[in-house]
């Protein structure tokens, strides 16, 4: 017997907004009124509200369940990455890999260049690994320790780490989101990466300049207090761990596998195995200890607060809070998509925009809004990519513009939304302490300059017309050969691109 709903109705705009508005209200109530950063329950209630709406619209339970689990299923590779990264954090701390990175970072780097160096290091590693989450959970964690030694506020370090890590995720051909964006818009991944450079490079250069300026002005005059703190941290590390360049082998192994273009999850798990072996050989841990570190994380008491707060972390269990949030948020997003709420809202937006600049701005905004409402970077790329592609084709613009827009509003904005999958992971992996009510560390959001400046630059390009490619002959032929859907934009004054001999159609008026 089929579980599909019989002739379900499409919600009106007002009806489609009901679960979205109510869920956002509950999130605001939990965060700002109760002062409790646990968004799982508001999102679960939102999922329930959406389910009731789906039943009202004619969907049966089987149909709603299929929509929820279909989106969750798409996210399982990323959940797997989370589990492996949790293991890596615990094992690499126990092996001395993370302490060694912190030790050498404190002795080689200077406070003035630290933030800029942190961003560059994370960008390089993220491009190599193809995963922002893996970069944040490994190199990013070590950089948090270095920043603490230099007296740099946690939110500044986190901002630099996030800027670099998600920049790399955005342009790495190994990244899942970098491959997803061109896939849903019918583009080649390398053409997509090239088209993102005009927005990505300026944003990174501006962010780099800000971090250099802040480095000299914020921590440039710390004087002896900073060196005293650095000495205390390095002494505590030497007293509790064997420190050696050989202990960097697990990290170098993972980077080497990434450069060899091996799959991310096996590469990261190889880092777990190498870290466990290193912990046994170099730090004297037992096999049972390694199992405990991988599952429950590392525990240490050095008497130095910066070290204790940073190194008491890791393990699969430390990721369960984040994983539960991701699964509930994705279920909510899947329910919104299955009931047609998101499609109705996007369709309402499309009736209000009549120019390429308006459509490009709307695409970026829709990806961002989907990140906020659905809590899922994948849905924020896939849904607008599917919904807006025919509109770009109807206007005669390359869908490379759309794939870039979904990355800017999807991938890059994900870590800036605390209840989003990306934001929840950043907060957990970097130990920002948001769950305990320390909302000051949310300042990392505006300080992740490269993430939020990139979509702004993209919107400026759209309204000025530069770096906004029109459709070429090859892409037009691909539309025909693959029978891609093209929206009739004649009501907005635009010619249908396949009805015209011109390769660069212009407004009919």
Q: Is the pLDDT of residue 284 over 50?
A: yes
For the whole prediction, is pTM greater than 0.95? no
Place 506 in a pLDDT band, splitting at 50, 70 and 90.
very low
Please name which of 127, 264, 108 lies closest in space to residue 204, comparing C-alpha atoms: 127
Higher pLDDT, 198 or 333: 198
Cα angle: 220, vertex 224, 226; to 5 degrees: 60
Q: Is the pLDDT of residue 111 over 60?
A: yes
Q: Is the pLDDT of residue 263 over 80?
A: no
Residue 96 φ/ψ region, left for φ over 0, alpha for ψ in the -120 to 50 degree band, beta for the rest = left
pLDDT at residue 43, rounded to an integer: 83
pLDDT at residue 434, rounded to an integer: 60
Cα separation, 161 vs 139, in Å, equals 9
Radius of gyration of the chain (CA): 24
pLDDT at residue 4, rounded to an integer: 46
Place 303 in a pLDDT band, splitting at 50, 70 and 90.
confident
Q: Is the pLDDT of residue 119 over 90?
A: yes
Number of H helices, E strands in the chain: 24, 0
Higher pLDDT, 116 or 486: 116
Which range is most confident: 297-301, 329-333, 433-437?
Answer: 297-301
What's the mean pLDDT when you consider all of the chain?
Answer: 80
> Within the chain, what is the greatest distance between any pair of CA atoms?
77
pLDDT at residue 6, rounded to an integer: 57
Place 75 in a pLDDT band, splitting at 50, 70 and 90.
low
Q: Is the pLDDT of residue 47 over 50?
A: yes
In percent, the amount of the chain with pLDDT more than 70 equals: 85
pLDDT at residue 491, rounded to an integer: 38
Which residues fall within 8 angstroms of residue 185, CB to CB, at 6 or more apart?
A: 385, 389, 399, 400, 402, 403, 406
Place 225 in a pLDDT band, splitting at 50, 70 and 90.
very low
Cα separation, 362 vs 485, in Å, equals 20
pLDDT at residue 223, rounded to an integer: 43
Q: What's the mean pLDDT in 106-132?
A: 83
Task: Return the minimum-mean-pLDDT range out of 43-47, 57-61, 118-122, 498-502.
Answer: 498-502
Please name which of 78, 59, 77 lies closest in space to residue 335, comparing C-alpha atoms: 59
Q: What's the mean pLDDT in 403-412?
A: 90
Q: Is the pLDDT of residue 483 over 80?
A: no
Which residues fall within 8 angstroms of residue 388, CB to CB, at 6 or more apart?
A: 346, 350, 359, 362, 363, 366, 402, 405
pLDDT at residue 341, rounded to an integer: 87
Q: Give Cα separations from 275 to 136, 252, 263, 292, 430 (angstroms).
A: 17, 11, 19, 13, 20
């Amino acid at each position: 017997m089929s579980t599909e709903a019989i002739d379900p109705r499409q919600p009106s705009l007002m009806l489609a907004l009901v679960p979205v508005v109510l869920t956002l209200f509950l999130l605001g109530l939990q965060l700002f009124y109760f002062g409790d950063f646990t968004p799982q329950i508001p999102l679960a209630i939102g999922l329930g509200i959406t389910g009731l709406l789906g039943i009202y619209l004619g969907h049966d339970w089987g149909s709603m369940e299929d929509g929820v689990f279909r989106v969750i299923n798409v996210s399982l590779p990323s959940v797997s990455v989370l589990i492996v990264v949790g293991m890596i954090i615990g094992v690499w701390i126990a092996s001395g890999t993370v302490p060694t990175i912190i030790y050498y970072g404190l002795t080689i780097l200077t406070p003035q260049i630290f933030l800029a160096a942190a961003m560059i290091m994370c960008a390089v590693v993220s491009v190599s690994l193809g995963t922002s989450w893996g970069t944040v959970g490994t190199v990013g964690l070590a950089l948090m320790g270095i920043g603490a030694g230099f007296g740099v506020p946690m939110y500044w370090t986190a901002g630099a780490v996030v800027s670099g890590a998600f920049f790399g995720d955005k342009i790495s051909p190994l990244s899942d989101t970098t491959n997803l964006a061109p896939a849903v818009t019918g583009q080649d991944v390398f053409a997509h990466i090239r088209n993102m450079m005009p927005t990505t490079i300026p944003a990174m250069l501006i962010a780099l300049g800000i971090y250099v300026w802040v480095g000299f002005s914020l921590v440039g005059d710390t004087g002896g207090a900073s060196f005293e703190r650095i000495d205390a941290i390095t002494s505590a590390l030497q007293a509790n761990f064997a420190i050696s360049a050989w202990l960097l082998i697990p990290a170098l192994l993972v980077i080497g596998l990434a450069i060899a273009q091996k799959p991310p999850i096996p590469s990261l798990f190889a880092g777990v195995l190498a870290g466990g072996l290193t912990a046994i050989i170099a730090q004297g841990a037992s096999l049972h200890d390694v199992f405990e570190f991988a599952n429950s994380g590392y525990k240490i008491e050095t008497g130095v607060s910066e070290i204790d707060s940073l190194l008491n972390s890791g393990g699969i269990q430390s990721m369960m809070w984040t994983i539960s949030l991701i699964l509930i948020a994705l279920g909510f997003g899947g329910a919104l998509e299955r009931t047609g709420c998101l499609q109705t809202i996007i369709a309402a937006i499309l009736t209000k925009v009549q120019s390429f600049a308006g459509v490009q701005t709307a695409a970026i905004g829709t990806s961002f809004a989907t990140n906020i409402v659905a809590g899922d970077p994948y849905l924020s790329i896939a849904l607008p990519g599917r919904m807006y592609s025919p509109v770009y084709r109807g206007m005669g613009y390359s869908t490379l513009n759309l794939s870039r827009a979904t990355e800017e509003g999807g991938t890059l904005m994900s870590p800036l939304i605390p209840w989003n999958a990306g934001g929840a992971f950043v907060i957990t992996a970097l130990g920002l302490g948001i769950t305990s009510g320390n909302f000051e560390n949310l300042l990392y959001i505006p300080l992740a300059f490269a993430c939020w400046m990139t979509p702004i630059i993209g919107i400026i390009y759209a309204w000025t017309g530069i770096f906004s490619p029109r459709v070429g002959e090859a892409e037009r032929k691909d539309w025909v050969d693959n029978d891609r859907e093209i929206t009739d934009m004649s009501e907005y004054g635009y010619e249908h691109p396949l009805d015209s001999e011109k390769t660069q159609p212009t407004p009919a008026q």
